[in-house]
A and B are shown apart, each in its own frame.
Chain A
């Protein structure tokens, strides 16, 4: 029937359009860029529009800092004393949605000019040649190189071809917070060994100082639980520490890991509230802030909550202490940071300027003062004012020098599929339908599903 042929032709037509559009995406930009160059009249490069997406909006702790960056960047690159660079900002509320969108963009080769490649996005971008090696830019600017620090550059160049594909914007150092009042009541102090850790938990349980000693959670990405898990493995000698510093571990079936899971199993069964299993971060955090629990593993960004009247009772912040994990272990890792998507030279140059603006000394200072993100080098110091207003962060920073075991988070060392499946396996570990051995085997299965999994 005639209608069917109309349908068939239109289908064919639009598929053709699509295929053309797919490959044409970036080519169109080259042409217009060339035209731009030819019409530039002053000494600086022609004006550029950068596309960037951000999830630091709404309630995100760095939302204010982020907005400030965008504003100040465009005021700085205003076309008068310097090239004019405008930012086309796309807001992607919630980090998870941001990473999902990045995957969609990467699949259509339309990544924003500046992007954050967590969750495996950067791995795939590098592998398929759509991320830019920034070493040429960084090497041309000694001052900036110094402000980044050697470890930042080493971290960003940890790729097969040694290229610098991501520049971090801050350091993550995590220990745990505890309720000093409850510790006093139970007659304990922060544990120096893991045996002491367990006996502390026993003491807290027996002393009736809290509803449960630990604020654990297995929902979302099991954040607070996995910090403790990471610490147990990361402080267990050479092998464990190496494990916790590998990007994308191939297997979880090692004695350190299995032992760690058994300990976590006990902690979830004996020393947590009933809602720990399946709980999300907000609930776990609230239990600590509401003085239901005595210990929560988390990073310095939590500290403003202690004095937030909407979240905690008056004077709670006085009761909170900061500690490193037993054996002086702590999470100590750089944030993945920013990368540039392959595009025209003009856009790539401008994109680098943006990254530089955000991660140089000035950028790090803003990040610290406004969002509580620790700077990349010790060159950036906290102001006295800041120390006054953020005693817990100051306390944590002082402890940094005493760290003996540094390791990364479970999220960082794991394939995303493994982390996602861990959240669903925890409940079965807790209710006994899985043993630690079985759990790690299932984790391996999950890891193998990831697109970046290398099965050599």
Chain B
């Protein structure tokens, strides 16, 4: 629809510019990602402990990891959260974008305000939820008691509700998805929508059959961003449940953190980090395939 497959003179000759344009990104990437990740991977094959000299021990760390029930739990929880985020979270954000794009009187206000929770530091958000969900004096339980539900659970500490409570601290806050989708919506040719309107299509029909398909790329992108953000959720879990009860809310970043800083096993922690990166790569590849991102169509 937007791009042609044809290759022209213009495209071919500016190789020099290609390299130049890529250089800053590549340099920064090497410095901050490539080097540390190679150090990471190299030390994941050693028995490195804080302050000791590392000795090569092959894939011992990896074998050890997969024998650790907590590690398995961490993988399960992370995958579940990635799934929830790339489906529910994205949906909320996309629906909000579609609604706000209709530009009813409230749209600027809502779109500004929705981002607020993302602007506040996660330390403050964590504290807020801890207080909100406090079983003795928190707002949620007091509200429930007022409408007749006594004995509401201790949300973050109860084995049944902990996972859900933690999920709520980030799932509904999809403002990033919304602003990204809305930004991409500006590229839609107004003429197409006009034509559809003239043909009698409702707003809902236009959203579902015209807008959404055109947003496939950006939605796929936000799905990737959302799913991979689950590989960075650490602060908020530390503040609310610290991975508990037991390992019910333990995810991979937290596992890496605990192995590195509590257990001081840097080699082992790096191995778990490598597993996490591989997991992420598979997820990204999968989402890419599902959404067919980057494929040009007409």
Question: Touching in the complex, A and B, CB below 8 A?
Answer: yes
Task: State the CA gap A103–B135 with chains docked (Å).
Answer: 36
Number of A-B residue pairs at CB separation under 8 A: 129
Indicate with 1 or 0, residue by residue over B244-288, a CB within 8 angstroms of chain A CB atoms. Answer: 111100000000001111111110000000000000000000000
Task: Report the nearest B residue to A103, measured CB to CB.
Answer: B50
The answer to whether A277 and B154 touch (CB under 8 A), given A423-B244, A428-B159, A452-B264, is yes
Chain A hits for B1, CB < 8 A: none
Q: Does A68 contact B (CB under 8 A)?
A: no
B window 34-59: CB within 8 A of A: 34-35, 38-39, 48-53
Task: Report the nearest B residue to A429, measured CB to CB.
Answer: B245
Q: Does B158 contact A (CB under 8 A)?
A: yes
Task: State the CA gap A420–B30 with chains docked (Å).
Answer: 35
Task: State the CA gap A152–B34 with chains docked (Å).
Answer: 48
Complex interface: stretch among A10-18, A230-238, A300-308: A10-18
Are A451 and B35 in contact, with the CB atoms below 8 A?
no
Indicate with 1 or 0, residue by residue over B11-35, a CB within 8 angstroms of chain A CB atoms. Answer: 0000000010010001100110011
Chain A hits for B138, CB < 8 A: 275
Are A14 and B35 in contact, with the CB atoms below 8 A?
yes
Task: State the CA gap A433–B246 with chains docked (Å).
Answer: 10
Q: B-side binding surface: helix, strand, loop or mixed? A: loop
Are A130 and B26 in contact, with the CB atoms below 8 A?
no
Q: Does B242 contact A (CB under 8 A)?
A: yes
Are B159 and A275 in contact, with the CB atoms below 8 A?
no
Q: Does B243 contact A (CB under 8 A)?
A: yes
Indicate with 1 or 0, residue by residue over B162-191, a CB within 8 angstroms of chain A CB atoms. Answer: 100000000000000000000000000000
Choice from B30, B49, B243, B259 contacting A424 with Cβ under 8 Å: B243
Q: Does A109 contact B (CB under 8 A)?
A: yes
Complex interface: stretch among A35-43, A120-128, A361-369: A120-128
* Minimum CB–CB distance for A305 against chain B, Å: 19
Q: Does B134 contact A (CB under 8 A)?
A: yes
Chain A hits for B154, CB < 8 A: 274-275, 277-278, 427
B window 114-140: CB within 8 A of A: 130, 134-138
Q: Does A67 contact B (CB under 8 A)?
A: no
Task: State the CA gap A285–B248 with chains docked (Å).
Answer: 27
Chain B hits for A434, CB < 8 A: 246
Indicate with 1 or 0, residue by residue over B104-119, a CB within 8 angstroms of chain A CB atoms. Answer: 0000000000000000
Are B244 and A424 in contact, with the CB atoms below 8 A?
yes
Task: State the CA gap A2–B138 with chains docked (Å).
Answer: 61
Indicate with 1 or 0, residue by residue over B151-165, a CB within 8 angstroms of chain A CB atoms. Answer: 000101111001000
Choice from B38, B242, B263 contacting A11 with Cβ under 8 Å: B38
Q: Does B241 contact A (CB under 8 A)?
A: yes
Task: State the CA gap A278–B51 with chains docked (Å).
Answer: 33
The answer to whether A128 and B242 touch (CB under 8 A), given A11-B34, A275-B154, A449-B265, is no
Choice from A109, A130, A431, A451 contacting B49 with Cβ under 8 Å: A451
Are B35 and A124 in contact, with the CB atoms below 8 A?
no
Are B136 and A128 in contact, with the CB atoms below 8 A?
no
Choice from A10, A120, A423 contacting B30 with Cβ under 8 Å: A10
Chain B hits for A273, CB < 8 A: 136
Task: Report the nearest A residue to B134, measured CB to CB.
Answer: A275
Q: Does A417 contact B (CB under 8 A)?
A: yes
Q: Does A240 contact B (CB under 8 A)?
A: no
Are A427 and B243 in contact, with the CB atoms below 8 A?
no
Chain A hits for B266, CB < 8 A: 107
- Closest 10 pairs (CB-CB, A-B): A424-B244, A278-B157, A427-B245, A275-B136, A451-B264, A274-B135, A124-B51, A427-B157, A451-B49, A277-B157
A-B contact pairs, 9 of them (CB 8 A): A3-B19, A14-B31, A15-B38, A103-B260, A103-B261, A121-B50, A124-B49, A127-B51, A424-B243
Given pairs A107-B51, A428-B159, A428-B244, 6 additional interface contacts (CB within 8 A): A103-B264, A107-B50, A275-B137, A420-B262, A425-B245, A451-B263
Question: Which residues of A are at the interface with B, using a C-beta cutoff of 8 A?
Answer: 2-3, 6-7, 10-11, 14-15, 18, 99-100, 103, 106-107, 109, 120-121, 124-125, 127-128, 130, 218-219, 273-275, 277-280, 283, 416-417, 420, 423-428, 430-431, 433-434, 449-452
